[in-house]
């Protein structure tokens, strides 16, 4: 059965533009958010608003959630007055938050017990990717459910991939956050290094971006880092949470991630310094501080 009525719960930096893209693609979209202003913004763009979870999911063919952390998702989906309690049997529940893989597996089982189909489908690409409909979507769950959700994923992203069973999407997302954090830290170090030697960094990053050192991180974040523009596309506080997922999961599986653990400590330090609401590219601030340099 084709999905037409879509509910999006969590209309933040990522969720609101994702919901808007679904409206633009012709879906009937209902939004719900803890702060009503974001819901009103979706309504102004052609969506519908709901004041409660029960109202939001009552007639939905699919429910998309985009929340900050594992406890938020657990409460929303499996809580006494949550999605699982109110969604119709057979509803497709797609959690696009970034949470712990073990929590994703548990929620999938609880969803099945309520006759619901659950996918974990975290994304990468930040606010720009959400706005542009160019997210990378890593999905864990059943092939049939992925196939049913594919038209939605094709609106929201360029690279939707079923990577394995329930929880696998979150595991791949953890690996993604490990790589992104490492790239950001090295880009920050490279910029401070270039500036210390008097190199014009716009030209420096241009040539670096054309070689083996080039990356999506450099392409998307380099100019803003040069300008010390740390308006959040993805906040430090969220990357700190994500890297705790990485280090905890690595410890559980007996995998050593020495560079990842070090970057996790740097991101955590930046968060504890009070910079949690800045973009994760603000790792540059910490490199400058450790180097005794102020821009």
| Distance separating alpha carbons of residues 9 and 57, to the nearest angstrom | 9
Q: How far is CA 183 from CA 17, 186, 218, 222, 225, in A?
A: 26, 5, 8, 11, 13
Residues linked to residue 164 through DSSP beta bridges, in sequence order: 140
Q: What tokens were used for 111?
A: 């969803």
Q: What are phi and psi of 169, to 5 degrees?
A: -60, -45
| Distance separating alpha carbons of residues 156 and 17, to the nearest angstrom | 9
The whole-angstrom distance between residue 194's C-alpha and the CA centroid of its chain comes to 31
> Tokens 């005794």, residue?
292
Contact 94, 65 (CB under 8 A): yes
Q: Catalytic positions, please?
A: 173
Q: What tokens were used for 289?
A: 């501080």
């Amino acid at each position: 059965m084709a999905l037409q009525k879509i509910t999006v719960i969590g209309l933040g930096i990522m969720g609101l533009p994702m919901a808007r893209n679904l409206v633009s693609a012709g879906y009937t979209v209902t939004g719900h958010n803890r702060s009503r202003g974001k819901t009103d913004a979706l309504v102004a763009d052609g969506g519908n608003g709901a004041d409660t979870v029960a109202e939001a999911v009552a007639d939905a063919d699919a429910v998309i959630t985009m929340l900050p952390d594992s406890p938020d998702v657990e409460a929303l989906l499996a809580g006494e007055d949550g999605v699982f309690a109110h969604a119709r049997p057979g509803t497709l529940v797609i959690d696009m938050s970034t949470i712990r893989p073990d929590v994703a597996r548990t929620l999938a089982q609880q969803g099945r017990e309520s006759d619901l189909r659950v996918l974990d489908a975290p994304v990468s690409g930040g606010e720009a990717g959400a706005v542009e409909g160019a997210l990378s979507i890593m999905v864990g769950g059943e092939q049939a459910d992925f196939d049913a959700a594919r038209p939605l994923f094709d609106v929201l992203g360029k690279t939707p991939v079923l990577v394995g069973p329930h929880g696998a999407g979150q595991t791949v997302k953890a690996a993604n956050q490990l790589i992104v954090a490492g790239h950001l830290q090295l880009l920050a170090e490279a910029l401070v290094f270039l500036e210390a030697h008097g190199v014009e960094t716009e030209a420096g990053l241009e040539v670096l971006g054309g070689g083996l050192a080039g990356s999506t991180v450099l392409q998307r974040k380099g100019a803003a880092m040069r300008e010390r523009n740390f308006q959040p596309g993805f906040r430090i506080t969220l990357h700190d949470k994500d890297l705790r997922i990485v280090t905890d999961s690595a410890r559980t599986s007996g995998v050593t991630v020495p560079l990842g653990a070090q970057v996790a400590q740097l991101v955590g330090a930046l968060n504890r310094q009070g910079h949690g609401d800045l973009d994760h590219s603000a790792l540059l601030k910490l490199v400058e501080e450790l180097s005794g340099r102020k821009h």
